[in-house]
Chain A
Amino acid sequence: MSTYTVRFEDNNQEIVFTGVMRPRMTAELEDVRAVFERAVGRVSGTLNLNFKRLLKANNVAFQEMVSLFTWVCKEHPDLKVRVIVSSVVGWATRKFKVVSAISPNIRVEQYDQIFYPGQTVLENSFVSILRTQTKMTWRHEKDILPRHGLKPGHEVADICCGIGDFALLMQKEFKPKRLVAIDHAKPSLEYARRVAEEFGIKEVEYIYGDASALLLDSNQFDFVTCRHALQVFNRPELILKELFRICKPGGRVYITNEKNSQCLGEPHGESIAWTYKEVAKLWAHFEMDIEFGPKSRRFLADSGFDDIKMESIMVTNTDGDPKDFADIIQAWEDVYAGEMSVKRGDSPEFNARFRKGFQDHIAAALHPKGYAGWPIWIASARKPV
């Protein structure tokens, strides 16, 4: 079974493989050899081989690949070969382990470890607080979601689902026909599955996946959500392209993002404002954009969507228990000041001032006459019919 495509892209010196490559004989892969031969004549420095969307390959195909790698290394010793695989496509990470032994010029990279620079910073630190965040935002979003098109009976995908609590709440409130929740952080998924089991909810499919190269078929979901995630990736347009692809024509994609520099509070407004402006710079240092919120409209339009709807909410200390709000800010301080600022190499003086803004925000939240806010931008758009 060979329903693959192979093409050479000059601009990034890359041969891109997609589909399924299970030939009976290597003779069926003559086009692959031809693309290799053409590519090595046109590249200098590094030849990139992108296997992240080659869903399956048998050993007949793999032997031919090994033969081609060997040929390249022998005939073009000046050339480096970078093999790019994704951890989501299980066969590839295992199979390609052996090819780096062929030549020191071959390097195998698991691209999704590079693509998600912020993930390792965030995924281990935030699990404990994400549930509180969702609890506070859900008070608003359960009323907002129907305005953006979510209806009972829809087929729904929650991409970058994190610890899966938003998916669970959607399942309970909106009773979708199908709900697939995908994330690239295994600890978060394990947590999500555990919580779902505790709650006796079996309808949500939690799947390990890569938001920029989803294994889901095209045009299959009525409603696709992606919350607080585009701001974490340095190439949000790649994820939006996938959200567009899996959404049915006429279906809608729903995204939420922040603009942290607009977090506010009184008293101590100035100290709070300074710290959150610094948060934005800190995220930018780690190639993440916590200021993404108001940019949602432009990104959705540039990704091919129409009928864009946008609104903003302010999560505040007056939404339920102010202690919940304070807990969120404390978690932010622990991660932003306690980990990211330290990792960036900030001075103790900067760190102390940085922490003070968070503490002032907490004080504002807990003050009997205080007010503390965290703004979020919500946008949705339709995939044209």
Chain B
Amino acid sequence: MRVDLCAGDFTADWLQCDRVANYLARTVSSDRPDTFLHANLLSTALNELFEIAFTRHRAGGKIVCELSRKGPEDRVELTIPVDAALRGYYRKQVDFLHSGNVAELYSRALLGETDSSTAVGLLELAADYGAAISLDESLDDAHVKLVVEIQLNATSAA
């Protein structure tokens, strides 16, 4: 499943993060065993990614979200228009995830003990959901792709 969002329109309204996250989560979860629980968790994950893209993107272009699955694993690929500074920002955030114990990094971020620009949502996905997060910079100079591989496995959420 893929959705192309005009960056200008998408970032005109904060509510779009919630709306698009819910729409995609409900659709993708409709044939999962625990529909509501899976949708609730996936919406949480997608919303955090959209909020990051909403806050940090280059004017113009498209934000593209692609969802695929392999067995119990969901794969989210979020392509974000960037300039050189933003590319550096995303690179720094993904590097930060691998700079120590991710649960501790998340706790520190929640307590305000890290750089205020820290993408707390990425830390949460890595710490609470065990997501594998990487940055694909191979597209072109104007885009980066955040790749999140996550097993929501609704039946073990509790």
Query: A residues bordering B, Cβ < 8 Å?
Result: 1, 20, 22, 24, 55-56, 58-60, 62-63, 66-67, 70, 87-91, 93-95, 97-98, 101-102, 110, 186, 189-190, 193, 205-209, 215
Chain B residues contacting A90 (CB-CB under 8 Å) are: 37-38, 40-41, 44, 152, 154, 157-158
Residue B111 lies at the interface, judged by CB distance under 8 Å to chain A: yes
Chain A residues contacting B111 (CB-CB under 8 Å) are: 66, 70, 102
Complex alpha-carbon distance, A190 and B127, angstroms: 28
Complex alpha-carbon distance, A2 and B144, angstroms: 29
Taken residue by residue from 107 to 127, chain B's Cβ proximity to chain A (1 for < 8 Å, 0 otherwise) reads as 100111000000011001001
Residue B83 lies at the interface, judged by CB distance under 8 Å to chain A: no
Contact of B40 among A22, A56, A59, A60 (CB under 8 A): A56
Distance (Å) between the CB of A59 and the closest chain B CB?
Answer: 4
Check B128–A97 contact: CB distance below 8 A: yes
Check B107–A88 contact: CB distance below 8 A: no
Distance (Å) between the CB of A56 and the closest chain B CB?
Answer: 6
Can you name the residue of chain B whose Cβ is closest to the Cβ of A190? B155
Complex alpha-carbon distance, A102 and B108, angstroms: 10
Contact of A207 among B35, B110, B112 (CB under 8 A): B35
With A59-B124, A63-B120 known to touch, is A20 a contact of B18 (CB < 8 Å)? yes
Residue B36 lies at the interface, judged by CB distance under 8 Å to chain A: yes
Residue B47 lies at the interface, judged by CB distance under 8 Å to chain A: yes
Q: Is the interface of B mostly helix, strand, loop or mixed?
A: helix
Check B17–A1 contact: CB distance below 8 A: yes
Check A207–B34 contact: CB distance below 8 A: yes
Residue B137 lies at the interface, judged by CB distance under 8 Å to chain A: no
How many of B's residues come within 8 Å of A, CB to CB? 35
Residue B129 lies at the interface, judged by CB distance under 8 Å to chain A: yes
Distance (Å) between the CB of B11 and the closest chain A CB?
Answer: 11
With A1-B14, A58-B51, A208-B36 known to touch, is A63 a contact of B41 (CB < 8 Å)? no
Can you name the residue of chain B whose Cβ is closest to the Cβ of A23? B14
19 A-B pairs (CB sep. < 8 Å): A24-B14, A56-B44, A59-B110, A59-B124, A62-B110, A67-B112, A87-B157, A90-B38, A90-B44, A90-B152, A90-B158, A93-B157, A93-B158, A94-B41, A94-B129, A95-B128, A98-B107, A98-B127, A208-B34
Can you name the residue of chain A whose Cβ is closest to the Cβ of B121? A59
Check A66–B110 contact: CB distance below 8 A: yes
Chain A residues contacting B106 (CB-CB under 8 Å) are: 98
Among B17, B34, B48, B107, find the residue whose CB has the most chain A CB atoms closer than 10 A.
Answer: B34
Chain B residues contacting A205 (CB-CB under 8 Å) are: 35
Chain B residues contacting A55 (CB-CB under 8 Å) are: 40
